[in-house]
Amino acid sequence: MERLVIRGLHVAVEGQEILKGVDLEIGRGEVHALMGPNGSGKSTLGYAIMGHPAYEVTSGTIELVAADGTRRDVLAMEPDERARAGIFLAFQRPMAIPGVRLADFLRHSVTNVRNPDRKEGEELMPMREFRAELKAKMAELSMDPDFARRYVNDGFSGGEMKRAEILQLAMLRPGFAILDETDSGLDADAVRLASESIAKIGGAEMGILIITHHEQLLEHNVPLRTHVMLGGRIVESGGPELAAELHKKGYERIRAAYPDAAAAERAMEDAAGVAGRAVPAGAGA
Amino acid sequence: MTAATLPNRSPAPSVAFGAEALDAILAASPAPAWASDLRRAACARLTGLGLPDRRDENWMRTDLRLFKPAAWGPSRSPDAGAAVEEGLLAEAILSGELVDTADGSGQRVAGRLAGRFTSLDGHVMREELDASLAAQGVVFGSAERVLAERADVLKAHWFSLIDSSKDWFAALHAAFHAASVVLYVPPRVRIADPLHVVAGLTDGGVDTSHVLVVLGEGAEATVLTETAGGGAAGSTGGFHCGGTEIVVGENAFLRMVNLQNWNTGVWHVARQRAVVRANGRLQWTLGALGSRLSQVAQDVALVGRGADAQVNGVMFTEGRQQLVFNTSQHHEAAACRSDLLYKGALQDRSRLVWRGMIKVDKAAQKTDGYQRNDNLMLSKTARADSIPGLEIEADDVRCTHGATSGRVDGQQVFYAQARGLTADEAARLVVAGFFQQVFDRITIAPVREALARAIGRRIRRIS
Ligand SMILES: Nc1ncnc2c1ncn2[C@@H]1O[C@H](COP(=O)(O)OP(=O)(O)O)[C@@H](O)[C@H]1O
Ligand SMILES: [Mg+2]
């Protein structure tokens, strides 16, 4: 079974250290939950795994380790190579690409991800085949087929963006998926539908890291482990009961139990405040 | 590029633009006397006129310092024959699309043309018109020939819209136009398939072609003109000094497309003017990808109640290209609509200038006028200027304008990369998306596709 293995990961943004040594290991077929207060570094972890150029890995490793022990260095890959290696990030705040239809975007995307060696300019997946598959997937997700004709995330509501991310997940069927607050912006029914969909898409083949503040998304995706991030570190890991506790009682017990991480959290908040940053697009709010 | 196989020309013309040269041309021309007289009058003005003054608002951003008028003269007969025409057609970006266009489902279907006119270095190579259209009174082909045959419907319009006394280029065009083409569509005749006009240049060649399109009341047509060839930057280049006149009759509908795709050594000066009569409709699309330097005047006059003009511009510049557009939307009558959208993407050290004017006369109440220019900078060294303008004398009007200039957003590129597209593919996609808004307005699929493909080929890594 292939594993995504993260060791001692330190990540800085604009010269300021955000992640301060993260260790995490996810196998294909496993579900992990990542919780933590706003600003603790959850989205930063997702971006770093995906290779966002603004998130600088200052030390540590991210590797894909195959069942036979073969290792691939994820940090040496461009973001698109990571996608082709089977890594997927559902963005907390997906970007709009005006003028580009979701269907056209996805056809290009699916073609590249399914043929990792495809060269630029080579044929895309045949239109007919792609359309049939897209139509079927949209029906499974109870999505209106016209939705794919709209421009990527352009003028989408929060909920529509999240559903579009789930559609892309379903079409790309990655080996490892990081779902960054894919439940935010959805109403209760939509969260239940998303939860079911993700469980169906994931199956036994996909390793999933669910970043969430709630339990509902975990209803059909029972995590093997729940991890709590505070001040840029994973301070505690536990079973499903941990997610329930955090959802009900918040992070006070965690802050009290890990004073160093709580201090780091305050320092990060101050740095963000002093720099007068508006919360950047895609970063946690 | 097929251009490389076109024959080279000597840099200096053996004859200059002057009275003697014109006499020789007219001696061999079948054109009627009234048309020749117009040429002689323009030629007489030519000697007294200089290049446009850089204090002129329309020319102050156009760098003509390296343009040497004496280097150019009237076209000689092309020495290459049919082989060159083949090369020319292959290079024309629409040709492939027109014979082999895609329908909505992505299936390839053969395109049909109502007519075709091609010229090389100012010499007519081919003129064709569907026989059934000719039988309905449609006139299409070489101006020299058809002006004599149909003076009754053409004389009143020939050189009636563009001013030939303004400057050296204007007079030169009026005196020495060659391989000019005329389309006349009689009232109520509707032409479904497009007419395709290709003007080609060899390295160092000169094209002075004039285009006149007249649609009678209730007529419909689609005209696609394009240019190809000429020398690349650093070679002898080429010189286009052209003019276009368009008359859209009452209730008529014209779709006009001008694709300028010269090689990057060509000087391109064009004056284009349309009048749209009551309830007439004009969809006018300019695609500009080529030339070393372009100076284009694109004017639309709405002269009858309820006339409608949609103007689309798609520009892509690279290297050291410099393209200047002066547009005018002149509302002379009431309740007309004009809507201009120019979109440009700039690469390398290229420069794009758009200066637009909406002019509303006192009588033009209930005018709906709009103009907008968006530019996307693909390099830090490119430069774009947008200068919108309004001159409004009526009081019950709605006129708005807008202009934006931006860069490819790194966040968009990352998002697409995260879904498996390379950085280059992502940038290309973002640029394609940028143009989509104007493509959505162009109702001629082959034109959209040809432009999108030609632009896609040109985009290099975004810096
Ligand atoms: N692109 C960015 N630019 C500047 N600061 C950032 C950026 N992304 C994240 N940060 C900072 O890093 C810290 C962690 O943010 P984030 O990873 O979004 O947290 P979470 O997703 O857990 O809410 C915050 O202090 C935030 O301000
Ligand atoms: Mg976040």
Query: Which of A178, A172, A4, A164 minimizes the C-alpha distance to A77?
Result: A4
Q: Return the percentage of chain A with pLDDT > 90, whole number.
A: 80
Distance from the Cα of A220 to chain B's closest Cα (Å) equals 25
Mean pLDDT in residue range B34-47: 94
The set of residues, in sequence order, having a beta carbon less than 8 Å from that of A20 and lying 6+ positions away, is A10, A231, A232, A233, A264
Query: Which of A37, A64, A2, A15 minimizes the C-alpha distance to A252?
Result: A37
Mean pLDDT in residue range B286-298: 97
Tokens (6 digits) for A3: 């594993």
Query: Which of B99, B79, B112, B93 minimizes the C-alpha distance to B7?
Result: B79
Identify which of B421, B433, B435 has the shortest CB distance to residue A112: B421
Q: For A278, which DSSP code?
A: P
Contacts of B414 in chain A (CB under 8 A): 52-53, 79, 95
Task: Say yes or no: A113 contacts chain B, CB-CB below 8 A.
Answer: yes
pLDDT at B433 over 50: yes
What are the domain boundaries of chain A? 3-275
User: Residue B248 falls within a domain, yes or no?
Assistant: yes
Distance from the Cα of A46 to chain B's closest Cα (Å) equals 11
Identify which of A96, A120, A168 has the shortest CB distance to residue B425: A120
Domain limits at B147? 2-303
User: Residue B346 falls within a domain, yes or no?
Assistant: no
Mean pLDDT in residue range B358-385: 96
Q: How many helices (H) and strands (E) does chain A have?
A: 9, 12
| Nearest residue by C-alpha to atom 2 in ligand 1 | A280
From the alpha carbon of A47, which atom of ligand 1 is closest? Answer: 17
What CA–CA distance (Å, rounded) separates A152 from A172? 16
Contacts of A90 in chain B (CB under 8 A): none
* Interface contacts (A, B; CB < 8 Å): 90
Tens of pLDDT, residue by residue over A62-104, are 999 999 999 999 999 999 999 999 999 999 999 999 999 999 9
Tens of pLDDT, residue by residue over B106-120, are 444 446 899 999 999
Q: By the 8 A CB rule, do A18 and A48 touch?
A: no
Task: Say yes or no: A52 contacts chain B, CB-CB below 8 A.
Answer: yes
Confidence (pLDDT) at B79: 58
Confidence (pLDDT) at B101: 43
Report whether residue A172 contacts ligand 1, using a CB cutoff of 6 Å.
Answer: no
Mean pLDDT in residue range B389-413: 94
Confidence (pLDDT) at B110: 46
Identify which of A50, A128, A281 has the shortest CB distance to residue B418: A50
Q: ∠ CA(A163), CA(B429), CA(B404), 5° rounding?
A: 100
Inter-chain touch A91–B412, beta carbons under 8 Å: no
Confidence (pLDDT) at B320: 95
pLDDT band at B93 (very low <50, low <70, confident <90, very high): confident
Of the listed ranges A201-205, B220-224, B364-368, B438-442, the least confidently predicted one is A201-205
B 96-125: CB under 8 A from A:
105-106
pLDDT at B15 over 90: no
Confidence (pLDDT) at B6: 43
What CA–CA distance (Å, rounded) separates B86 from B437? 34
Q: By the 8 A CB rule, do B238 and B262 touch?
A: yes
Q: In the beta sheet, which residues pair with residue A32?
A: A209, A225
Tens of pLDDT, residue by residue over B147-200, are 999 999 999 999 999 999 889 999 999 999 999 999 999 999 999 999 999 999
Mean pLDDT in residue range B372-393: 96
Inter-chain touch B436–A98, beta carbons under 8 Å: yes
Q: Average per-residue pLDDT in chain A?
A: 92
ipTM of this complex prediction, to 2 decimal places? 0.95
Q: By the 8 A CB rule, do B67 and B267 touch?
A: yes
pLDDT at B7 over 60: no
What is the chain A residue with the closest CA to B427? Answer: A97
Q: By the 8 A CB rule, do B251 and B219 touch?
A: no
What CA–CA distance (Å, rounded) separates B425 from A107? 13
φ/ψ (deg, to 5) at A107:
-65, -40
Inter-chain touch B411–A281, beta carbons under 8 Å: yes
Q: By the 8 A CB rule, do B208 and B122 touch?
A: yes
Confidence (pLDDT) at B460: 77
What CA–CA distance (Å, rounded) separates B282 from B296? 18
Q: By the 8 A CB rule, do B358 and B369 touch?
A: yes
Confidence (pLDDT) at B94: 78
Task: Say yes or no: A244 contacts chain B, CB-CB below 8 A.
Answer: no
What CA–CA distance (Å, rounded) separates A134 from A146? 11
Confidence (pLDDT) at B384: 97
In Å, what is the CA distance from A180 to each residue of A27, A48, A212, B272? 18, 13, 7, 54
Tens of pLDDT, residue by residue over B243-271, are 999 999 999 999 999 999 999 999 999 99
* Best residue in A102, A107, A108 for a mutation probing chain B (most B CBs within 10 Å): A108
What CA–CA distance (Å, rounded) separates A32 from A211? 9
* The residue to which tokens 């709590």 are assigned: A228
Say how many C-beta atoms besides its own lie within 10 A of residue B18's C-beta. Answer: 15
Confidence (pLDDT) at B8: 45
Task: Say yes or no: A150 contacts chain B, CB-CB below 8 A.
Answer: no
DSSP labels for A39-88?
TSSHHHHHHHHHT-TTEEEEEEEEEEE-TTS-EEEGGGS-HHHHHHTTEE
Q: Using CB atoms within 10 Å of the CB of residue A58, give its burial: 0 to 12 exposed, 13 to 18 middle, 19+ buried.
A: exposed
Of the listed ranges A177-181, B49-53, B326-330, the least confidently predicted one is B49-53
Inter-chain touch B433–A112, beta carbons under 8 Å: no
List CB-based neighbours of ion ligand 2 within 5 Å.
A 42-43, 92, 284
DSSP labels for A146-191?
GGGGSEETTT--HHHHHHHHHHHHHHH--SEEEEESTTTT--HHHH
What CA–CA distance (Å, rounded) separates A197 from A177? 14
State the amino acid at position B192 in one-letter form.
A
Task: Say yes or no: B55 contacts chain A, CB-CB below 8 A.
Answer: no
pLDDT at A284 over 60: no
Report whether residue A42 contacts ligand 1, using a CB cutoff of 6 Å.
Answer: yes
Identify which of A84, A99, A282 has the shortest CB distance to residue B420: A84
pLDDT at A280 over 90: no
Q: For B3, which DSSP code?
A: G
What CA–CA distance (Å, rounded) separates A36 from A213? 7
| Nearest residue by C-alpha to atom 8 in ligand 1 | A283
User: Residue B421 falls within a domain, yes or no?
Assistant: no
Q: Using CB atoms within 10 Å of the CB of residue B27, give its burial: 0 to 12 exposed, 13 to 18 middle, 19+ buried.
A: exposed
* Best residue in B107, B404, B417 for a mutation probing chain A (most A CBs within 10 Å): B417
Distance from the Cα of B45 to chain A's closest Cα (Å) equals 49
Q: Indicate the number of domains in chain B.
A: 1
Q: What class is the A3-275 domain?
A: alpha beta
| First and final C-alpha spacing in chain A | 35
User: Residue B154 falls within a domain, yes or no?
Assistant: yes
CA R_g for chain A? 19
User: Residue B414 falls within a domain, yes or no?
Assistant: no
Tens of pLDDT, residue by residue over A248-277, are 899 999 999 999 999 999 999 988 876 554
pLDDT at B97 over 70: no
Full-model pTM: 0.86
User: Residue B202 falls within a domain, yes or no?
Assistant: yes
Task: Say yes or no: A86 contacts chain B, CB-CB below 8 A.
Answer: no
Inter-chain touch B418–A282, beta carbons under 8 Å: no
Tens of pLDDT, residue by residue over B415-425, are 999 999 999 89
